[in-house]
Structure 1
Amino acid sequence: MGIKSFQGRQAEPQKPQSESMLVCDYMAKDLITFKKDQSVYTVMETLTKNNISGGCVVNEKNELLGIISEGDCMKHISDSQYYNMPIEDYTVEKHMTCNVATIDGNMNVLDAAKKFIENKVRRFPIVQDGKLVGQISQRDILKAAMNLKGQNWGNS
């Protein structure tokens, strides 16, 4: 009888944890949104009260029209000061960013991180069947990365 080498049954290689880390698992779903006919002043109050840096602008059907951010509000403040115009008189529609880039909720969060870097934005709306279903921010990506750290980044 010869000596047999026994390796045992090898486990299937595990897929990296990041493959299952999808944008839809980390996106915010309970969003503060704005309407195009709201005043920029109301937006500023809402942003500061809720400690957020911007929000999606939607119509009555919850379809995405644009985004309004702190930066858009700052531009309005500056313009109002320069042209001596009342700050309360302008609507979201005149100051929001249109043609907003969106991402798929089924995108891997690491791919989403790359999109953030490429597009230099702070948030991406998630649209499904023409309706706004969520939003992912840079902070949401950081939270996902913290979950990933314990699994794939080692103990550095």
Structure 2
Amino acid sequence: MLPIQSVMTLKPTTIGPDAKIWEAANLMLDRRISGLPVVNGEGHLLGVISESDFLCRGELHAENRHGLWRALFASRESLAGEYAKAFGQNVEEVMSSPAITAEPGTPIAAAAELMAENNIKRLPVVEDGKLVGIVTRSDIMSAFVRELARHSAAKADADIKNALEAELARHNWGDAAVIKVAGGVVTLEGKVLHEREKAALRVAAENVTGVKRVDDRIELVAPLDMPVPPPGFYL
């Protein structure tokens, strides 16, 4: 499986920690994205602000309502953090930090598992602490679809080659061809003595299910001259 650097978006849209949350919301709506990496002036990733961070806003009257047991046993730090997240006005106060990240060389499958385990839609890609790209669920899906298509195509080519070889094995003229299959296109190579052999090989390939085209490279060669019999030789 390829690394995520092969599918990530370079230079993703970001926002600074001192920006207002309404600026982040407007930017997300304008770009039609579900989250923003938060970076400082040097490009270091500080956190991520996403749609879910706006769901607990006090303005929406959806701030976290603590039950009795949570109010009794939750730490002062966690309760204060939740309050700041619900009513904070700067991105730094609302963002999720530290962000879940991956490195450019992380395999796509590992990145997909990381996103699924943490229920996140966007995975920042960092190198030496700096943001270098971002991977979304749609990037992961596209990569898997391409990989499945590649495997399916390879299997289809192998099935065509096996079917053609089986057909040619049934005939004493069928051993003259070297068969190659790529993308449903059959390439026939080799040498035959007669035009009818060449035509039969091509027809056999054309009749295999799944073949899109036959590239006939079979060479027609003349038989070698018969040797002159020695003197006194009689048939």
TM over 0.5: yes
Determine which structure has greater relative contact order: mean sequence separation of CA pairs < 8 Å that are 6+ residues apart, divided by chain length: 1
Q: Distance in 2 between matches of 1:63 and 1:149?
A: 35
| Structure exhibiting the larger radius of gyration computed from Cα positions | 2
Q: 1:37 aligns with which of 18, 34, 46?
A: 18
Q: Matched residues, percent identical?
A: 28
1:1-156 matches, cutoff 5 A: 18=1, 21-76=2-57, 79-82=58-61, 90-153=89-152
Equivalent position SS for 1:75: coil
Equivalent position SS for 1:140: helix
| Larger proportion of strand | 2
In the other structure, the counterpart of 1:5 is none
Equivalent position SS for 1:55: strand
Q: Distance in 1 between matches of 2:51 and 2:98?
A: 18
Q: Distance in 2 between matches of 1:34 and 1:102?
A: 17
Amino acid at match of 1:145: F
Equivalent position SS for 1:57: strand
Equivalent position SS for 1:65: strand
Displacement over 6 Å in runs of 4+: none
Q: Distance in 2 between matches of 1:34 and 1:153?
A: 41
- How many residue pairs match? The answer is 132
Amino acid at match of 1:80: E
State the Cα deviation string for residues 9-64 of structure 1 (Å, max 9, x = none).
Answer: xxxxxxxxx2xx11001011121101111111111111111100001000000000
**CA positional deviation for 1:142:** 0.5
Equivalent position SS for 2:25: helix
**CA positional deviation for 1:153:** 4.8
Amino acid at match of 2:50: S
Equivalent position SS for 2:123: strand
Amino acid at match of 2:54: C
**Pairwise CA RMSD:** 2.3
Q: Distance in 2 between matches of 1:116 and 1:98?
A: 16
Amino acid at match of 2:52: G
CA 116–145 in structure 1, closer or farther in 2 if over 3 Å, else same = same
Q: Distance in 2 between matches of 1:69 and 1:112?
A: 19
Q: Which runs of 5+ in 1 are unaligned?
A: 1-17, 84-88
Amino acid at match of 1:106: G
**CA positional deviation for 1:114:** 1.4
